[in-house]
Amino acid sequence: MIDKLVEPCERKAPDYVKKGYVHPVLNRINHWAHAFLIVLLLWSGFQIAFPNAKIFFGVGEAVVTHKVCGVLLLIQMPLWFIYRAVSGRMFWRCLPCPCDFFLCSWRQIKYYLFDIFVGRPHPYDPRELNPMQRITYVSLMLIVLPIAMLSGAVLMWPHAFAWLLARVPIKTVTLVHLIAAFIFLFFIGLHIYLATTGAKPWSYFKAMITGWVDKEELEEYLKHAQTSKEA
């Protein structure tokens, strides 16, 4: 039992991932579509929430954009889930194992808080998600985003959810939607920043465009892993 909390679980990645092809086409399309929709939703959403601020092209335009992107996301999310489930990526890549909530994550946190400043390489294989990524990914995609989408759907079609709004004040629904939006806003900042912490600032961006993990990044990790093993 204790072993499970301190040792990373084994993940059966397909051969193409082992070769360094970490982001297949569908994965990349999904990622960028998601990014595009979420950014537009946040941008237009904050314009709607704070109509006095001039952050979009106009409040009217923001409302239309927000609704269109919201509906597209409602369509895209089930497709994403089906793809993840059918391809198996949800299970071998994304779901955290017990260690991810304990020691494995601590290694990653320690890396970001201390090791990164002295030039040490990443503690985990760049071909896989690190424990913090797994926890964040699952939390966002399976908890925060569905909550944001559900509350957004209630706000977009309040009359279809009249039964719900008779029990839960719309103020609460709005608050939940806003908190989810804030979480995404902070996540995006963090996500983009951490994407610059590869071997080169563009290493991870390149991987999410070409699908192949950055060679230098991989070599650096393998070298480090070898050294650690020998030690």
Partner 1 sequence: MFALLGALVQGQGLHCLACHESVDSLKKYAVEEPEIKGPSEGGGLKGGCGGKPPPLKKWQKLRVSKAFLSGPMGQLGCVKCHGGRDTADFKLAHEGLIPDPSEPGKGREPVCAECHGDIVKHYKKSLHFTVYGQAWTLEVRSGTRGIADSGGCLYSSYRKDCYTCHASCGDCHVSRPKPVKGGLLASHQFLKKPPMKDVCGACHAARTYGEYTGNFGYPADVHWAKGLKECTYCHGADELHGMWNASDRPDSNMHLNRGPKCEDCHAKSSRSNEYHKIHWGKVQCNVCHSMPIRHCFTCHTGYFGDVEDPAKFYRYPEEQKFLFKIGYNAFRDQYHPWRYTQLRHPPNSPHTFDWFKEHYCPERAEVFPHFSALPTWKPGTGHNVQRRTPQTESCWSCHDNPKVWLTEADLKDYEREANAAVINAFRTVFPLPRWSWAKLLGLAWFGFLGLLLLHGIGTWTGRAIARRREK
**Which residue in the block uniquely carries the two structure tokens 């993990």?**
213
Smallest distance from partner 1 to CB 167, Å: 10
Cα–Cα distance for residue pair 44/38, rounded to 1 Å: 10
Q: Which two tokens stand for residue 56?
A: 């979009």
Q: Within positions 138 to 177, which residues make up the interface with partner 1, using CB under 8 A? A: 155, 158-159, 162, 165-166, 169-171, 173-174
Under the binding rule (CB under 8 A), the answer on residue 195 touching partner 1 is: no
Q: Which is nearer to partner 1, 87 or 105 (CB)?
A: 105
Contact segment (CB under 8 A) with partner 1 among 7-15, 60-68, 76-84, 207-215 equals 60-68
Q: Within positions 91 to 130, which residues make up the interface with partner 1, using CB under 8 A? A: 112, 116-120
Cα–Cα distance for residue pair 157/151, rounded to 1 Å: 10
DSSP secondary-structure letter at 167?
A: T
Smallest distance from partner 1 to CB 50, Å: 4
Burial of 10 (0-12, 13-18, 19+ CB in 10 A): exposed
Cα–Cα distance for residue pair 131/125, rounded to 1 Å: 11
Interface with partner 1 (CB under 8 A): 46, 49-53, 58-61, 63, 112, 116-120, 155, 158-159, 162, 165-166, 169-171, 173-174, 178, 182, 185-186, 189-190, 193, 196-197
